[in-house]
Amino acid sequence: MKKILTANISGGTKISGYEALKKTLSMRPEEVAFMVERSGLRGRGGGGFPAGLKWKFLPQNSRGTIYLICNADEGEPGTFKDRHIMEFDPHLLIEGMVIAAYAVGAKQGFIYLRGEYGWIAKFLPKAIDEAVREGLLGDNILGSGFSFYIDVFRGAGSYVCGEETALIESLEGKPGRPRLRPPFPGTNGLYGKPTLVHNVTTFSCIPFIIQNGPDAFKAASSTGRGGTKLFSISGHVNKPGLYEYPMGTSLRELIYEAAGGIKGGKELKAVIPGGLSTPILRADEIDVSMDFDTLAAVKTMLGSGGIIVMDETVSIPRVAQKAARFYAHESCGQCAPCREGTAMIKLLLDRMVNGQGEQDDLDQVMRLCRYINGSTICAFGYAVSLPIAAMIRKFRNEFEALLENR
Amino acid sequence: MNKITLNIDGRELQAKSGQSLLSVARENGIYIPTLCYHPRTKKAGKCRICVVAVEGLPGLQVSCSLAAADGMIVHTYTKKIIETRKMIVELYLASGKHDCPTCEADGECELQDVAKVLGIEKSGFPMSDKGYVTDSSSPMIIRDMNKCIHCYRCIVGCNDLVVNEVIEMGYRGSRMTVVCDLDSPMGDSSCVICGECVQLCPTGALTEKKAAGKESNRDTVKVRTTCPYCGVGCQIFLHVRDNEILKVTGVEAAKPNYGSLCIKGRFGYDFVNSHDRLKSPLVRKDGKLVEVSWDEALDYTAKKLSQIKNDHGPDSIVGIGCARTTNEDNYLMMKLMRGVIGTNNVDHCART
């Protein structure tokens, strides 16, 4: 792995040497917000919520405290985009956060870093110190009178803490369990104050938008909506890794051109397009444009852009079993359908894969997926039920074979 | 407070703005089952049994937590809602040890009630054992976490109502369980045994040790009375069968305690049927305590006090009021000392 650079800001990071920040400080905050809104930037963590709209939920022109949080709790299986930004271009993230803070009137920001990213926790504060030293962060940024501070907080290794209200609870020092909504973080977030939470990659899009304008951002995508996107490609491909492509690039192109096709000349069987929590696609469904709306139309999601490629050797029931184990382990346990439901799905899939399934086990798993969906406190319910239901729906014969051959 | 109008199951209903959907429904006789909701611990949103569908909002919403809004259209009885409720109750029944015939809470269990209302005879899911060992370390409370449904009522009660701050949810996922302090046995923890958690528990996870094996929910008469221990006047129910108190619970909807009690009020009822209990006054005659009538005892006491006052002066006598008596009784004690005896020597048992 490359040695991390945190020095040499004036030499410029890849996208800018804080040029976008300089431009920002010459604008009024509402002009900055308007540019982001016009760019059509949508949350890159998985939800795809329009960033401009999220900013509008915050109190406008308020003198009260507003907190800014960067969600760097990258826990979605198959996703490794945030860590690359933080490793190789931490100043892009810092610049994006300062610009957002200026636009919404936040004075204090936090980076909630995934517990397992210990090595990033070591040097991220160094990058922050560096920015402070150069007057790009801290008191009176570049002499503008605007001040903003960032602290790094390291999580303790829980998937649910990537959910924004659980993240806020954890940041407050409590167990990471999602809150009931309403109220939403836009009005009652960290310590009860209005709070804006964005993913690392969402913040990192902002400097480009400010520097080059919303239209240039839109034009960077192949559909005219949404800039570029980082795709983490893993699994049975020749060149697994992180690829930045225009939003709307076809899934086939990403697998066969970017990632060099299937390893060992085998056949493609299935692809999970946006991290484990997104419904699976069959090999015949990969001629699809990788953007929020197109994927929603085929009943899956862009999610975090974590593409997991599986070749013909993969047993989908085993994939479902591994997924169920993960969700049962990571459920916070707070609400009944998720706590009991994930444990039950795991139990049923375990015994099916082990050749001890009962005839109605498959129907019971589908029943659980149907009714966990929409009845839980947070989106974890969707995250577990949609992908497992899709695996069973699309590869039902493999599950049925387990029950017949027991 | 603003009046609003909303539609529940096709009925136009009036409500106060900010009122929960559950409370609007209950006021109007619309049944929505609940498990984690309790009037004193309020909204919880944990069990998800009270889910309803609100037009325009995604998924299902929990009626105990969602505030009614003007123009809202709510459905409480769709297939999705009923099936979701059934799934949750069947999951509860399949996990842990909900063996009604042997459970202390049989007959007073909210999980049992909801299962019956939903027409569930048997869980469709395979039974799995949580494998917790019953914690009998507390002198008064038995904790069987296999029967816990994670409603959080005991936690809100301990932390927010009586503010003893002993219990919290520990661990996560299906291993999540209520822990005392840092997961100590209850008897070794900082628990002061007020029994608030037992009072709030909807199932048999927390039960009274002294009532164990006595079928305290069957053929008992609930006698409402005032706790005799102090002047606060907490309202209690004595659960009585054959002149024996099997357990004591707080009266939920009554001042001044609204169901909360202390260790003495909830668990200190042994004296009622104790062999050591004094039932008539005793006077020492020839070196032996002898049972006498109240008249004789009072005459004897009055004579002796008058004699002491004559021989040694009024300040040789002191009156000690009792914490268990009412303010009115303590006032009379003061009157007796100052007006009849003629001394200012009046004090209180908690200070002497």
B289: containing domain: 282-348
Per-residue pLDDT of chain B (352 residues; tens, 9 = 90+): 689 999 999 999 999 988 999 999 999 999 999 999 999 998 899 999 999 999 999 999 999 999 999 999 999 999 999 999 999 999 999 998 899 999 999 999 999 999 999 999 999 999 988 899 999 999 999 999 999 999 999 999 999 999 999 999 999 999 999 999 999 999 999 999 999 999 999 999 999 999 999 989 899 999 999 998 887 889 999 999 999 999 999 999 999 999 999 999 999 999 998 999 998 999 999 999 999 999 999 999 999 999 999 999 999 999 999 877 888 898 999 999 999 999 999 998 888 7
Q: Which CATH number fits domain A19-219: 3.40.718.10, 3.20.20.60, 3.40.50.11540, 3.10.180.10?
A: 3.40.50.11540
C-beta atoms of A368 and B95 within 8 A: no
Query: What's the domain count of chain B?
Result: 3
From the list B87, B92, B128, the residue facing A371 with the nearest CB is: B87
A161 touches B at CB < 8 Å:
no
Distance from CA of A357 to the nearest CA of B (A): 11
How is residue B133 annotated by DSSP? P
Q: Tell me the sheet residues that pair with B238.
A: B223, B248
A398 touches B at CB < 8 Å:
no
**Mutation test of the interface with chain A: which of B17, B35, B48, choosing the one with the most A Cβ atoms within 10 A?**
B48
Q: What is the per-residue pLDDT for B162?
A: 97
- CA A83 – CA A55 distance, rounded (Å): 25
Distance from CA of A148 to the nearest CA of B (A): 36
Task: Tell whether B12 and B69 lie within a shared domain.
Answer: yes
Task: Tell whether B270 and B331 lie within a shared domain.
Answer: no
**Mutation test of the interface with chain A: which of B63, B151, B152, B174, choosing the one with the most A Cβ atoms within 10 A?**
B174
Q: With CA atoms as reference, report the closest residue to A242 among A46, A43, A82, A4.
A: A82
Q: With CA atoms as reference, report the closest residue to A81 among A245, A286, A207, A257.
A: A245
Residue B2's SS3 state is: coil
Q: What is the per-residue pLDDT for B1?
A: 62
A16 touches B at CB < 8 Å:
no
Architecture in CATH for domain A316-404: Up-down Bundle (1.20)
Per-residue pLDDT of chain A (406 residues; tens, 9 = 90+): 233 344 444 444 444 479 999 999 999 999 999 999 999 999 999 889 999 999 999 999 888 999 999 999 999 999 999 999 998 889 999 999 999 999 999 999 999 999 999 999 988 998 999 899 989 999 999 999 999 999 999 999 999 999 999 999 999 999 999 999 999 999 999 999 999 999 999 999 999 999 999 999 999 998 888 899 999 999 999 999 999 999 999 999 999 999 999 999 999 999 999 999 999 999 999 999 999 999 999 999 999 999 999 999 999 999 999 999 999 999 999 999 999 999 999 999 999 999 999 999 999 999 999 999 999 999 999 999 999 999 999 999 999 999 997 7
From the list A175, A329, A336, the residue facing B150 with the nearest CB is: A336
Domain annotation covers residue B250: yes
Cβ contacts (< 8 Å) between B171 and chain A: which residues? 333
Task: Tell whether B45 and B71 lie within a shared domain.
Answer: yes
Task: Tell whether B256 and B299 lie within a shared domain.
Answer: no
C-beta atoms of A335 and B45 within 8 A: yes
Q: Tell me the sheet residues that pair with A233.
A: A241, A307
Long-range contacts of B198-201 (CB under 8 A, 24+ apart): B198/B141, B198/B266, B199/B157, B199/B249, B199/B250, B199/B259, B199/B260, B199/B261, B199/B266, B200/B38, B200/B40, B200/B41, B200/B153, B200/B154, B200/B156, B200/B157, B201/B105, B201/B153, B201/B154
Q: What is the per-residue pLDDT for B243?
A: 92
Measured from the Cβ of residue B184, the count of other Cβ atoms closer than 10 Å reads 15
Q: What is the per-residue pLDDT for B327?
A: 84
Q: What token pair was written down for A374?
A: 């929409």
Cβ contacts (< 8 Å) between A367 and chain B: which residues? 83, 87, 124
Distance from CA of B49 to the nearest CA of A (A): 9
pLDDT tens-digit series, residues A248-306: 999 999 999 999 999 999 999 999 999 999 999 999 999 999 999 999 999 999 999 99
CB-based contact B122:B135 (threshold 8 Å): no
Q: What is the per-residue pLDDT for B254?
A: 95
Give the residue from B244, B262, B277 where a domain finishes.
B277
Give the residue from B277, B303, B325 where a domain finishes.
B277
CB-based contact B195:B263 (threshold 8 Å): yes
B169 touches A at CB < 8 Å:
yes
Q: What token pair was written down for A266?
A: 């085998």
pTM of the model: 0.91
Q: Which fold has domain A228-311?
A: Ubiquitin-like (UB roll) (3.10.20)
Task: Tell whether B257 and B301 lie within a shared domain.
Answer: no
Domain annotation covers residue B45: yes
Q: What token pair was written down for A191?
A: 């310590």
What residues does CATH 3.10.20.600 cover in chain A?
228-311
Place of tokens 């690392």: A200
B126 touches A at CB < 8 Å:
yes
Task: Tell whether B10 and B56 lie within a shared domain.
Answer: yes
Q: What is the per-residue pLDDT for A4?
A: 35
Domain annotation covers residue B196: no
Task: Tell whether B9 and B68 lie within a shared domain.
Answer: yes
Q: What is the per-residue pLDDT for A12?
A: 41
CB-based contact A269:A286 (threshold 8 Å): no
C-beta atoms of B83 and A337 within 8 A: no
Across the A:B interface, residue pairs with CB atoms under 8 Å apart total: 108
Task: Tell whether B11 and B64 lie within a shared domain.
Answer: yes
Domain annotation covers residue B299: yes
C-beta atoms of B92 and A336 within 8 A: yes
- CA B240 – CA B218 distance, rounded (Å): 10
Is the preceding omega at residue B256 within 30 degrees of 0, hence cis? yes
Pairing mode, strands B221-226 and B235-241:
antiparallel
